[in-house]
Amino acid sequence: MLDWGKHIAVAGRFQYKAKWQDREDLRQDIILRLAQVARNNGHKPFTDIAMLRIASCRVADYWWSCIAGSIKHFSQQWFNRQPQWKYDEA
């Protein structure tokens, strides 16, 4: 059986590591991932340390997705820009 109280408590500790507008989404993402891992864990014990590790990995994935989006935006701006110089018609 899933222990939703623990999942919510762990996610609550990590939601503040995201941008303020994404905190609720990250919290729900962590809770969902913890539930998936707990369900697929079989009969092995699902420890608090494992929950913290999974939550920290979800936070890292969140920040990587933020960085990847900004890099993609920057590269599109860089390659689509117009040259700033003009040739002399001499």
Domain boundaries, the chain: 4-79
The CA distance from 2 to 13, in Å, is 19
| pTM for the full predicted model | 0.72
The CA distance from 34 to 11, in Å, is 9
pLDDT tens-digit readout, 24-79: 999 999 999 999 998 888 878 889 999 999 999 999 999 888 887 666 665 666 56
Among residues 78, 39, 34, the alpha carbon closest in space to that of 56 is found at 34
